[in-house]
Amino acid sequence: MAEERDVSIGVVIVAYKPDLQSLQELVRTSLRELDAVREVQVFVWDNSPLGGAESTEGVEGVEGGQVVVMGGDGNNLGFGAAINKVIEGTDKDWYVVLNQDLRIGEGALTRAAQAIRRAGPVTAVLELAHRPYEHPKEYDPVSRETPWFSGAAFCVSREAFLDVGGFDSRLFMYGEDVDLSIRLRSKGWGIRYLPDCIVFHDDLVGMHGQKPLQEAYDRANNILLRLKHGSALVAVRGLLWLLGESLYFFLKGRRIAVHRVLSLVVRRAAAFRADCAADASRASRPQFDRWRYCRHRLGGRYAIEAVAAKPKVSIVIRTMNRPAMLVEAIGTAWNQTYGNVELVVVDDGEGQGRQIVENLPAAAGREAVYVKTGGSVGRAAAGNLGLAHCSGEFICFLDEDDQLYADHVEVLVAHAGNNGLKVSYALAEEITAEYAADGSWTDGAVAVPYRQEFSRVLLWYKNFLPIQSVLFARSLYEELGGFDEALDLYEDWSLWVKYSTKCDFGFVPKVTSRYRIFTGRATRSAVFGDSYARVASTHDYPGFVVSPVEFRRMIAEYMRYRGLLCLTREQLIAAQARLRALFRGRA
Per-residue pLDDT of the chain (587 residues; tens, 9 = 90+): 567 788 999 999 999 999 888 999 999 999 999 988 877 899 999 999 886 556 666 676 655 568 899 998 888 999 999 999 999 999 999 999 999 999 999 999 999 999 999 999 999 999 999 999 999 999 999 999 999 999 999 999 999 999 999 999 999 888 999 999 999 999 999 999 999 999 998 654 444 455 677 888 889 999 999 999 988 889 899 999 998 988 888 787 777 788 888 888 998 989 998 888 655 566 667 888 888 999 999 998 899 988 888 999 999 999 999 999 999 999 999 999 998 999 999 999 999 999 999 999 888 889 999 999 988 899 999 999 999 999 999 999 999 999 999 999 999 999 999 999 999 999 999 999 988 877 788 898 999 999 999 999 889 888 999 999 999 999 999 999 999 998 888 899 999 999 999 999 999 999 999 999 987 654 445 555 666 666 766 666 666 777 767 777 777 777 777 777 777 777 788 888 888 887 776 55
Query: Which pLDDT score is estimated for 337?
Result: 94
pTM: 0.88
CB neighbour burial string for 304-329, b if at least 16 within 10 angstroms, e if fewer: bbeeeeeebbbbbbbbbbbeebbebb
Query: Which pLDDT score is estimated for 528?
Result: 58
Rg (CA), the chain: 27
Length of the chain: 587
Are β-strands 470-473 and 423-435 bridged in parallel, bridged antiparallel, or unpaired? antiparallel
Q: Please calculate the CA angle 458-462-467 and round it to the nearest 5 degrees.
A: 105
Omega within 30 of 0 (cis) for the link into 132: yes
Q: Give the H/E segment covering residue 230.
A: none
**Distance separating alpha carbons of residues 581 and 297, to the nearest angstrom:** 45
Task: Count the helices and strands in the chain (H runs, E runs).
Answer: 18, 17
Beta bridge partners of 512: none
Pair 330, 356: CB distance under 8 Å: yes
50-to-43, 62, 72, 210 alpha-carbon distances in Å: 19, 22, 8, 28
**Distance separating alpha carbons of residues 116 and 89, to the nearest angstrom:** 21
**Distance separating alpha carbons of residues 508 and 326, to the nearest angstrom:** 26
Pair 314, 388: CB distance under 8 Å: no
* Among the listed residues 123, 128, 87, the one whose alpha carbon sits nearest the alpha carbon of residue 111: 128
Task: Supply φ then ψ for residue 141, to 5 degrees.
Answer: -65, -15
Helix-strand-coil percent breakdown of the chain, rounded to 5?
40, 20, 40
Pair 100, 23: CB distance under 8 Å: yes
* Among the listed residues 586, 555, 556, the one whose alpha carbon sits nearest the alpha carbon of residue 571: 556
Pair 361, 1: CB distance under 8 Å: yes
Query: Which pLDDT score is estimated for 1?
Result: 54
* Among the listed residues 132, 149, 133, the one whose alpha carbon sits nearest the alpha carbon of residue 194: 149
Query: Which pLDDT score is estimated for 520?
Result: 64
Task: Give CA torsion, residues 430, 192, 399, 539, to 10 deg.
Answer: -40
Q: What 3-state class would DSSP assign to 178?
A: helix
Query: Which pLDDT score is estimated for 204?
Result: 42
- Biggest alpha carbon distance in the chain? 84
**Distance separating alpha carbons of residues 425 and 418, to the nearest angstrom:** 14
**Distance separating alpha carbons of residues 406 and 332, to the nearest angstrom:** 7
Q: Please calculate the CA angle 160-281-511 and round it to the nearest 5 degrees.
A: 85
Pair 138, 296: CB distance under 8 Å: yes
92-to-7, 158, 431 alpha-carbon distances in Å: 8, 7, 42
Pair 471, 498: CB distance under 8 Å: no
**Distance separating alpha carbons of residues 341 and 357, to the nearest angstrom:** 14
Pair 203, 137: CB distance under 8 Å: no
Instruction: Name the E strands within 21-104.
Output: 41-46, 67-71, 94-99, 102-104
**Distance separating alpha carbons of residues 223 and 427, to the nearest angstrom:** 32
Query: Which pLDDT score is estimated for 23?
Result: 92
Pair 116, 158: CB distance under 8 Å: no
CB neighbour burial string for 387-397, b if at least 16 within 10 angstroms, e if fewer: beebebbbbbb
**Distance separating alpha carbons of residues 565 and 561, to the nearest angstrom:** 9
Pair 177, 151: CB distance under 8 Å: yes
Amino acid of residue 48: S
**Distance separating alpha carbons of residues 406 and 386, to the nearest angstrom:** 22
Q: Please calculate the CA angle 201-194-327 and round it to the nearest 5 degrees.
A: 145
CB neighbour burial string for 517-542, b if at least 16 within 10 angstroms, e if fewer: beeeeeeeeeeeeebeeebbeeeeee
**Distance separating alpha carbons of residues 465 and 459, to the nearest angstrom:** 8
Pair 60, 69: CB distance under 8 Å: yes
**Distance separating alpha carbons of residues 261 and 217, to the nearest angstrom:** 7
527-to-201, 522, 523, 533, 539 alpha-carbon distances in Å: 49, 9, 6, 10, 19
Beta bridge partners of 372: 347
524-to-13, 90, 459, 517, 520 alpha-carbon distances in Å: 56, 61, 24, 11, 9
